[in-house]
Amino acid sequence: MNAGGRALVTGAARGIGAAIATRLAADGMDVISLDLDESADVVLDVARDPFPELGDVQVCVANAGLTTTIAPAARMTPEQWQRDVDVNLTGSFRTVQACLAGMRDRGYGRIVVVSSVAALGGLPGQVAYAASKAGQLGMVRTLAGEHAADGITVNAVLPGLVATEQVLAMPAEVRERALRALPSGRLVEPAEVAAVVAFLCSPEAAQVNGQALAVDGGASLSSFTLGSSRPR
């Protein structure tokens, strides 16, 4: 699908990021992986560390993020709040900003920010996560408007509950409760998220800009019915 070129994928050591990096490489792209894990091509903290020169990057996938801060809003510490905002929101902006100059010079770029369905519906117990992911959507729309005339598209992908190592390690009772709430009846596979990202990174997606695409097994759909049970 892609016509070659170089791609940067952050949070690429595992889970969704690893699936995206694998898919883009399979589509013919030269992928630079970025992560805190030493296995990555570039090892840095997206929230704080200086980025290397990325002028030749044509595709930027800002995927790195925290999902583990769990605390009711009334008891969330300033440090917990700030770390989620720093990594998820500021980190994704810093990633995109590091790639923008080269994209503008070439008149071509594909930027995808991996947000979350929590950006739309909230997530009780994870207010900092949900707020930081919602902030990404405002960032995506603003960047898309600023750079549409430069041949650069900026979109967001919103995964639901994905079968990553972290999710599969959750207690069985928690996973089963989550599955009961999913209209599809199963977790989203990382490769399914990667397929949507790959399309948005392709030349064929030139007229898709400023969009937020949920990949959530229907989790963001209403399950309310005026009937006695859900229709089949």
Instruction: Point out the residues that are catalytic.
Output: 129
In 3-state terms, what secondary structure has residue 151?
A: coil
Q: Is the dihedral of CA 171, 176, 178, 184 positive or negative?
A: positive
Backbone φ, ψ for residue 44 (5° rounding): -165, 165
In 3-state terms, what secondary structure has residue 145?
A: helix
Distance CA 34, CA 45 (A): 9
In 3-state terms, what secondary structure has residue 222?
A: coil
Distance CA 14, CA 173 (A): 24
Rounded to the nearest angstrom, the gap between the alpha carbon of residue 131 and the centroid of all alpha carbons in its chain is 14
Of 219, 168, 199, residue with least CA distance to 27: 199
Q: Is the dihedral of CA 94, 213, 154, 143 positive or negative?
A: negative
Distance CA 151, CA 162 (A): 31
Distance CA 63, CA 114 (A): 5
Distance CA 142, CA 22 (A): 29
